[in-house]
Structure 1
Amino acid sequence: MEASNDPPGPAKAEPEESSAKPIHVSYYMNNGVLSVRETDLKDAYELKEEIRRGDFGPVFKVVQRTTGQAAEAKFKRLPRFVRRQEALREIEMLFLFAPHPNLLLLHDAYQMLDSKEIVLITEPLQGCSLLEWLVSGKERVTERICAGYLRQLCSALKHLHAASIMHLDLKPESLQLACSGELKLTGFAVARRCGEEPSLLRGDAEFSAPEQLGSEAATINTDMWPVGLLAIVVLSGVSPFWASTKEEMVQKVISATWVFPDSFSSISKGAKDFISKLVKKSAETRMSAALCLDHAWLDGTAAEKPLSMATLKEFWGRYKSEKPASYVHRFPKSEKAKQSEDEKK
């Protein structure tokens, strides 16, 4: 995802390269501003074995030298400036909110200026997304199981929204699993504080809300649209707004016209009611994360009948193999921004 014309923030946190020798820096929040200091990752952490490969580089097991606490280090090789800006945005957002059981916990963050690598030190994860786990056959999947994971997602969003942070990029790979089996919401490169006024965001359309593809400003309820879509996907394996072309997909989302798939004939009324109150064109009329947690379908009494994972396996195979259909969202200028431009003339 790319953003431009953001308020001062992580874009100014990236230090200049040293002409004398390569240096390492760590990031921290100083009075709400992402700041840097010279330090070396290996002074604080002992690198162990590589445990998997991430999208931008290896992931290592690490141990904190003073406490012996295990963690994982995600090395991101990011030669492009815009990619580093995205990573810094994610670091800033992860530092902003207080810890929560269903939000990825960031311990530290470093940058190797000689190699353009950014390293995130986080709590250990399984390296497995929620959907990968559901289709693995290792768990008997029922409505109640799915409702439990969605409850954890809504709990994470309630915590974010209470801190005036919008995620804005909820999709299947955002939902990872901790070693304990708990859901962890990840992927904060596009997240924004409420009230920030970026002029442009890029992302993928399939799980984006209508206002993200149109000309309306995003709100915390923008995050609730994809919660409904993800509920449909995990329960049926059907993505209601998917299309073979980006243009058709965007038009389907903007129209917000959809029906439950045929496979929902065996899904409970409670699940349908939950989803219907989220996948609504008007963001103002969607349930908030707090209201979702009060919904009867998430109270632990959902149906225990096993769900077929065959269609979900097909969806996951297609989703992983396809290049996401990107969208470009140009935010409308606020009166404050227009006034500032007029003053400069």
Structure 2
Amino acid sequence: MKKILTILGAVSLTTMSVTSTVACQSNGGNWDDIPLNPPLVPFEVKGFEGLDFSSVNAQNDKQTLWNLMFKQIKGIFAGSHWNFDDLHQEVIRNDVDITNTKIDFYRNGTYSVKLFADENNVITIAKQVKTSNHIADKVRTTDLGNIHDTRPKTILIATIFKNTDIIMELDKFGEFFLGEQTPENWNKQIDEEALADKIKINKVNHTITIDTGKLNWNEETNDPAKEYYGTVTLTYNLKPLDGPSKGIVDLETTQDKNLEELPQPTMLQVYMKFITKNLPLINNLEYLSEFLNDVYLTINKTGDKNYEATLTAYDKSKFFEKSVTVTFTSK
């Protein structure tokens, strides 16, 4: 429960700086006895006389490994007697040699790359990639555990709870699943199990494949820093609920109707903040997926930064009834 509340509380998307401190204690040993790996040199050139690599900064976090190699470094070779395309290439990612595979330089990992013409002319690059938008790098925990149904918003919230880093791009991930956050897209009727285009469910073997529709990047037409790509397969156990254990929930009994400030006036932000403010209303998250699917939401702007949102229970819901209007502010 504490983990879930932490996730929901992060809906404010406030990034905190965390400092790790390593304490060294004297145990009578010798410093020379402590094994240390040699430092990782971000960029090193041996040979290639006549070429100037002083402009290369392999540690620049905004510089992708692909651009570093195939635009900046390749550009340095242009017009010289060296042919960049003739260089041999060796690539190790996370200590695994991937030279002979189709390499995706945007995937997360620690890379060691060697480009060489011969033993006397060698370029080495060391770079850590942490900005991958491959869906398998976003959804690293693939077992969703027990879920009540296989509706898109149920899968969405279960995936977020199992992969807490996604909370930092909550709206982006939600819209990837279900499209633009409009009532037309998000307020689906409870007895419709219309799946989002990118979610493929196999109910026989209890798997869910998230397919972005983009397997590879075309550098000229796609932006791997902005768009998800690739596929990932999830597993789940289906444990449906027949109805609420304590009777149908009346939304009019909502205690906290002021959601205060939200980062964005979006449907997903309102849902999540409403949940954090009114946990008992959904039986401390027991009816979470039912709430997201059975309760419809509309948002209206009432002032410069002021909004109100109306949450209305679908008339066939077994868990919720009536409606409530809440208020909040947003930029």
Q: TM-score range by the shorter chain?
A: under 0.3
Point out which structure has higher relative CO (alpha carbons under 8 A, 6+ apart).
1
Q: Which is helix-richer, 1 or 2?
A: 1
Structure-1-length-normalised TM-score: 0.23
